[in-house]
Amino acid sequence: MRQRKRVVRIGDVSIGGQHPIAVQSMTKTKTADVRSTLMQIRRVQRAGCELIRCAVVNKDDVRALPKIREAIAIPLIADVHFDYRLALGAIGAGVDKIRINPGNIAERWKVEEIIKSARDNDIPIRIGINSGSLPDEVLAKHGRPTVGAIVQTAKQALSVFADNDFTRVVISAKGVDVRDTIQVYQILNGQFDFPLHVGITEAGLVFKGAVRSAVGLGILLYHGIGDTIRVSLTADPVREVVAAYTVLNALGLREHGPILISCPMCGRCDVDMERIASKVDKRLKKYKPALKVAVMGCIVNGPGEARDADFGIACGKGVGAVFAKGKEIRRVKENNLVDTLFEVIDENIDI
Ligand code: SF4
């Protein structure tokens, strides 16, 4: 059961409460390069990204924010480290939320300036704690970025917001270690009612990164922890968005576009399944409905094994079957199998 949190509005997207878990990503361009940044945002937007974050590291980035903001359809979040003046500049530039790291904007008065400006401009703040940048005094006490060190940093940061009576807060506290991150979020979830942004930081290249994120996020989300997620990958941010929806879909929390399922293959398979499944996956990208489409390696077991799928194909030697909800509806030559599958899908759904 999802833990009920305070509702925080970010532009026209609300998180917390019973709102759907929002998918976010981060641009990997130089923010000041407006053209490249906008191209990337439009691509993630098409993939289903609901909140986008841009790094703001200098004044040129701040100057780019209004142009980016007015050209995109999803809320824009400014990610600021170290320099509170950049945070103030980003807020003034009209972003929908600001993410700061209390580990590197240490002085209380600077954080209070940011809080005041966020209040005046009616936007929320994410307190984004990162195990790689904890305050020096916390690290000195704990020796290394332990669970206790991360939680202490979060509590210290939150106390400043509480003292300033500012409640439009989202918390994240990411560690590199998956088990530590899970533990940190469990503690924060039990102690605060602010929405949580969850993710595994520095997850890795696509395959291992997606697996690591799926393990960490999957465990948290399964226990009802998390209001917005990012799958961090050393890769095109579109892949972060696809991975995030795959995690949410696997847990039955969100549907987004078609899902391809395919059998793992065994000695009964006589075709190049990887090639056929990839072909189907590619063609499915232009479809919007949350269809479940199966590609199965043999005609005898395939349709039955994928009886949950809305549509599917079961490949055989030279000939295969197109099926729907486990029942064969057409038998065609192997070469026509994929085309026939899409003919059947097109006859039955609106793209
Ligand atoms: Fe093997 Fe057929 Fe099952 Fe695929 S569908 S795993 S080929 S039995």
Residues in the chain, total = 351
Are the C-beta atoms of 160 and 111 separated by less than 8 Å? Answer: yes
Residue 134 and residue 263 in one domain = no
* pLDDT confidence bin for 40, thresholds 50/70/90: very high
Instruction: Using pLDDT thresholds of 50, 70 and 90, give the confidence band for residue 112.
Output: very high
Do residue 244 and residue 267 come from a single domain? no
Cα 136 vs. chain centroid, distance in angstroms?
Answer: 30
Asked if residue 287 has pLDDT above 80, the reply is yes
Q: Are residues 221 and 310 in the same domain?
A: no
Do 193 and 317 sit in the same domain of this protein?
Answer: no
Q: Is the separation of the CB atoms in 304 and 287 below 8 Å?
A: no
pLDDT the model gives residue 350: 67
195-222 pLDDT, tens digit per residue, is: 999 998 767 899 999 999 999 999 999 9
Share of the chain above pLDDT 70, in %: 98
91: in domain: yes
Shortest-distance Cα residue to atom 7 of ligand 1: 297
* C-alpha dist (Å) from residue 200 to 59, 152, 174, 215, 264: 29, 19, 6, 9, 28
23 and 87 housed in the same domain: yes
Residue 300 CA, closest ligand 1 atom number:
2
**CA–CA separation, 272 and 303 (whole Å):** 18
The enclosing domain of 292 has a CATH number of 3.30.413.10
How far apart are alpha carbons 100 and 83 in whole angstroms?
Answer: 10
| CA-wise closest residue to 92 among 116, 64, 121 | 121
Tell me: do 179 and 323 sit in the same domain. no
State the distance from the centre of ligand 1 to the C-alpha of 260, rounded, in angstroms. Answer: 16
Distance, CA of 301 to chain centre = 35
Ligand 1 atom with least separation from CA of 266 = 1
Domain count for the chain, please give it.
2
Residues spanned by the domain of 270: 259-348
Q: Is residue 191 part of a domain?
A: yes
Same domain, 12 and 124: yes
Does one domain contain both 317 and 338?
yes
Residue 163 identity = D
Domain boundary (250, 267, 292) is at 250
Domain boundary among 188, 216, 250: 250
- As a whole number, mean pLDDT of residues 247-254 equals 95
User: Per-residue pLDDT tens for 60-106?
Assistant: 999 999 999 999 999 999 999 999 999 999 999 999 999 999 778 87
